Chains A and B, each alone.
Chain A
Amino acid sequence: MVFSSLTFLCAFLPLVVLLYYACKKRTWRNAVLLVFSLLFYAWGEPKYIFVMLASVLVAYLGGFAIEFFKRREKQGFARAAMVVTTVILVGCLVVFKYLGLFAETFRALFSQNLNVVRLVLPIGISFYTFQILSYVIDLYWGKVVLQKNYFTLLLYLSFFPQLIAGPIVRYETVEDELKNRKETWQGFVAGLEKFIFGLAKKVLLANNLARLADGIYGYGIEKAGTLFAWVAVIAYTLQIYFDFSGYSDMAIGMGRMFGFHFPQNFNYPYIATSVTDFWRRWHISLSTWFRDYIYIPLGGNRVKPWRHAFNLLVTWALTGFWHGAQWSFLLWGLYYAALLLLEKFVLAAFLKKLPKFFGWLYTLFFVVIGWVIFYNESVWEIVKTLGALFVPSGTSPLDLISSDSSLGTALLFLPVSAVFAFPVLRRFLEKESPTAVLCREAICLVLFVLSFACLISSTYNPFIYFRF
Chain B
Amino acid sequence: MKQSRAVAIIRVCFVSLLALFLVASLVLTLFFARENNEYENRKANRVLPLTFGAFMNSSFQDSLESALSDQVPFAEGFKKAYNEADAYLSYNLLSATFADNADRYFDFNDVSVYNKDYLVYAPGAFSPTEKSGIDLKLGLLQKLVEKHPELKFYAYYIERDCDLNFETLEKVGYAEYVEEKLPENIAFSKFEINNFDTYSKYFFKTDHHWNHKGSYKAYTELLDLFETEEILALGEEYLVGEGFVGSKLSAAKTDAFWGEDLYAYKFGFCDMKIYENGVESADYGRQNGTADAFLSSGEKLNYNAYYGAENGETVFDTGREGRENLLVIGESYDNALLKQLACHFNRTYSIDLRYYKHYMGEEFSFDAYVEQHGIDRVLFIGNVDFFVLDVFNLKAEG
Contact = CB atoms under 8 A, between A and B. Distances in A.
Interface of A: 1, 5-7, 9-11, 13-15, 43-44, 46-47, 185-186, 188-189, 192, 398, 401-406, 408-409, 412, 432-434, 437-438, 441, 444-445, 448-449, 452-457, 459-468
A192 B10 CA distance: 14
B6 A434 contact: yes
Interface stretch (B39-47, B223-231, B265-273, B381-389): B39-47
B41 A460 contact: no
Contacts of A185: 8, 11
23 contacts: A6-B65, A185-B11, A405-B107, A406-B86, A409-B89, A432-B7, A434-B6, A434-B7, A437-B10, A441-B10, A445-B14, A448-B18, A456-B72, A456-B79, A457-B82, A459-B66, A460-B79, A461-B40, A463-B41, A464-B245, A464-B247, A464-B302, A465-B309
* 10 tightest A-B CB contacts, nearest first: A462-B250, A459-B69, A441-B14, A457-B82, A408-B93, A6-B68, A453-B78, A10-B25, A464-B247, A463-B42
Nearest to B86: A409
Contact of B90 (A406, A441, A459): A406
Contacts of B17: 445
B343 to A, nearest CB: 25
A466 B309 CA distance: 9
Contact of B69 (A6, A15, A405, A432): A6
B200 interface: no
Interface string B133-166: 0000000000000000000000000000000000
A462 B11 contact: no
Tell which of B25, B41, B56, B82 has the most Cβ of chain A within 10 Å.
B82
B40 to A, nearest CB: 4
Contacts of A448: 18
Interface stretch (B97-105, B170-178, B322-330): B97-105
B107 A465 contact: no
Interface in B205-264: 245, 247, 250-251, 253
A336 B17 CA distance: 46
B11 to A, nearest CB: 5
Given A14-B23, A402-B106, 8 more contacts: A10-B26, A398-B97, A406-B86, A453-B79, A456-B82, A457-B83, A465-B309, A467-B309
Contacts of B109: 405-406
Tell which of A1, A441, A460 has the most Cβ of chain B within 10 Å.
A460
B126 interface: no
Nearest to B106: A402
Contacts of B41: 462-466
Given A406-B90, A441-B14, A460 B3 contact: no
Contacts of A437: 7, 10-11
B304 interface: yes
B22 interface: yes
Contact of A441 (B11, B42, B94): B11
Given A14-B26, A405-B108, A408-B90, A464 B11 contact: no
Contacts of A11: 26, 29, 64, 68
B113 interface: yes
Contacts, number: 157
A401 B94 contact: yes
Contacts of B186: none
Contact residues on B (Cβ < 8 Å of other chain), bracket: 35 or more
A11 B14 CA distance: 19
B101 A409 contact: no
Given A457-B79, A461-B40, A433 B3 contact: yes
Contact of B10 (A438, A460, A461): A438
B391 interface: no
A172 B347 CA distance: 83
Nearest to A439: B10
A459 to B, nearest CB: 4
B11 A453 contact: no
Interface in B41-95: 41-43, 55-56, 58, 61, 64-66, 68-70, 72, 75, 78-79, 81-83, 86, 89-90, 93-94
B253 A401 contact: no
Contacts of A1: 61
Contacts of B303: 465
B16 to A, nearest CB: 11
Contacts of A461: 40, 42
Contacts of B19: 14
Nearest to B39: A462
Contacts of B290: none
Contacts of B68: 6-7, 10-11
Given A10-B25, A434-B6, A453-B79, A398 B40 contact: no
A43 B82 CA distance: 28
A312 B218 CA distance: 74
A405 B10 contact: no
Contacts of A9: 22
Contacts of B8: 185
B310 interface: yes
Nearest to A402: B106
Nearest to A5: B65
B357 interface: no
A401 B96 CA distance: 13
